[in-house]
Structure 1
Amino acid sequence: MKKSLFTLALLAAGFGASAQTIPATTAAKTQVAMPAGYADLLGATITEVMNTGDAATLKGLASKLERAAAAAPADWLPRYYQAYALLINVFQSKEAADAKDKTLDQAEAALAQARKLGGDESELLTLQAYMYQARLGIAPQQRAQKYSAMVAETVGQAEKLNPANPRPYLVAANNVYYTPAMFGGGSEAARPLYEAAKARFAAFQPASALAPNWGQSQVLGRLRQYEMAATALPATH
């Protein structure tokens, strides 16, 4: 699990001769040739991305994923996870607003590449909406009116494309949760969306071992907070 994708960069020239054809991890019905050992290395890096909250580590993993994309230029997943790693970096980073915006610019560029490669559009739209949330979080007072509406519109598109995908409901729930109650948001307004996401996660089956499958722990954590808040309320007589 700790193998480095530096291997992919060093051996990319030789991978062509030893490439094997495996099912593409996309919604497309075609097959693409992948370098030998590519899936294992990509899977290890994805696992690292999903199990760290360290901003610097996430930047490094994003660079690994960029090299993976160079080694397998037909696969959309390295670009998708590169975008995801950069996005989570922004949420964890203590950098200034300008630096965070530049990181999000890089994330959106990677996401655009994933789209050109025919990635799952519901997943791509969900990640785009999540990036809009990150933009909003950089300067909430100045950006709320613009980006909150963009989040809502984009997750709506993602839900329509794949109603079974739980991630749009998670991003939508977060958007409502952090919207002031006077504007129709707040904790209680968001709870049904978290419940909807939970139900979809229970039934969701990713398209492959490497396909997007993040977000369930975030949903369950939020719902536990609701339960803890309810048990902490004083009894009424």
Structure 2
Amino acid sequence: MKTSLLFFALLAASLTPAAAQTQPKTTAAQAAPAGYHDMLAATIQDIMSTGDAVQLKELASKMERAAAVAPQDWLPRYYQSYALLIATFQSKEDGDVKDKQLDQAETALQQARKLGGDKSELLVLQAYIYQARLSISPMMRSMQLSPKVNEALAAAKELNPGNPRIYLVQANNLYFTPKMFGGGAEAAKPVYDEAKARYAAFRPATPLAPSWGERQLMGRLKQYETAASTQASK
């Protein structure tokens, strides 16, 4: 509750005539009011700590308010998009509702792009959104969207081959692709291993920069270990 109240207070302060006259238009750090970065960090942590679709949508709305507080900062729009994306994966709603939510995620992502966000990270998130759309109707959408996932990831890798989220999303795409089309768990395993090595070497550019995915990766690798152990015991 205190978090929400502080966000509204920051938003109100940023919209006063005096603030509008004195607010710099150069960098996000200059434009953000006092307390903004601590609030943003806390909200990012909340997003990363929940798998509840309703809560994720509430946190996406909070990021939208943060974007109004610091309109030059790309990170609120990025995390708004990310929260909506993960909410879609966790949601039990029908496909039309999920598609509309992903439309909102793409809009936020486009806004982050206009604000000069990290291009590699934005491309990875775009690929992840394509995956979410594909998962709504795999049979109908795989031919159209699977290549788009790969294209976005290839562009992200060209910009920053050290970004571990590239390999995580790429491995996920392989994992859920039928074996007859070159995918499956066996095909994905080396890419998950590459992602693990990249995460070990990765250091985010700033404390608030994207760093998600390692927990998801370790969960997947644990599944491989469990499957191998089960197979060995037979």
Taking structure 1 as the reference length, the TM-score comes to 0.91
User: Offset at 1:14?
Assistant: 2.6
User: Offset at 1:4?
Assistant: 1.8
Question: Hey, what's the Cα distance between the residues in 1 that align with 2:50 and 2:179?
Answer: 32
User: Offset at 1:68?
Assistant: 0.2
Find out whether 1:55 has 2:53 as its counterpart.
yes
Regions of 4+ moved over 3 Å:
none
User: Offset at 1:11?
Assistant: 3.1
The aligned amino acid for 2:3 is S
2:200 — aligned with what? 202
Question: Hey, what's the Cα distance between the residues in 1 that align with 2:232 and 2:193?
Answer: 24
2:11 — aligned with what? 12
1:28 — aligned with what? none
The aligned amino acid for 2:75 is L
Q: Give yes or no for contact 1:59–1:85 (8 Å, CA) kept in 2.
A: yes
Question: Mapping of 1:130-209 within 5 angstroms?
Answer: 130-209=128-207
Q: Give yes or no for contact 1:3–1:41 (8 Å, CA) kept in 2.
A: no
**2:92 counterpart (91, 94, 99):** 94
**Residue ranges of structure 1 left out of the alignment (5+ in a row):** 26-30
1:61-119 CA deviation, whole Å, 9 max, x = no partner? Answer: 11000000000000000000000000001000111110000000000000000000000
Find out whether 1:38 has 2:33 as its counterpart.
no
Question: Hey, what's the Cα distance between the residues in 2 that align with 1:11 and 1:224?
Answer: 43
User: Offset at 1:231?
Assistant: 1.4
Question: Hey, what's the Cα distance between the residues in 1 that align with 2:228 and 2:10?
Answer: 56
- For residue 34 of structure 2, give the secondary structure of its aligned residue in structure 1: coil
Question: Mapping of 1:211-222 within 5 angstroms?
Answer: 211-222=209-220
Q: Give yes or no for contact 2:11–2:66 (8 Å, CA) kept in 1.
A: no
User: Offset at 1:20?
Assistant: 9.9
Question: Hey, what's the Cα distance between the residues in 2 that align with 1:40 and 1:5?
Answer: 13
Q: Give yes or no for contact 1:20–1:36 (8 Å, CA) kept in 2.
A: no
Question: Hey, what's the Cα distance between the residues in 2 that align with 1:148 and 1:178?
Answer: 10
Identity, % of aligned positions:
61
- For residue 4 of structure 1, give the secondary structure of its aligned residue in structure 2: helix
Question: Hey, what's the Cα distance between the residues in 1 that align with 2:175 and 2:122?
Answer: 22
State the number of aligned residues.
228
Q: Give yes or no for contact 2:10–2:33 (8 Å, CA) kept in 1.
A: no
Q: Give yes or no for contact 2:177–2:184 (8 Å, CA) kept in 1.
A: yes
Q: Give yes or no for contact 1:5–1:41 (8 Å, CA) kept in 2.
A: no
User: Offset at 1:230?
Assistant: 1.2
1:164-218 CA deviation, whole Å, 9 max, x = no partner? Answer: 1000110000000000000000001001110111000001000111100000011
**Residue ranges of structure 2 left out of the alignment (5+ in a row):** none
Question: Hey, what's the Cα distance between the residues in 2 that align with 1:5 and 1:106?
Answer: 21
Q: Give yes or no for contact 1:5–1:42 (8 Å, CA) kept in 2.
A: no
Q: Give yes or no for contact 1:8–1:68 (8 Å, CA) kept in 2.
A: yes
User: Offset at 1:3?
Assistant: 4.2
Question: Hey, what's the Cα distance between the residues in 1 that align with 2:23 and 2:44?
Answer: 21
1:67 — aligned with what? 65
User: Offset at 1:229?
Assistant: 1.2
Q: Pairwise CA RMSD of aligned residues? A: 2.0
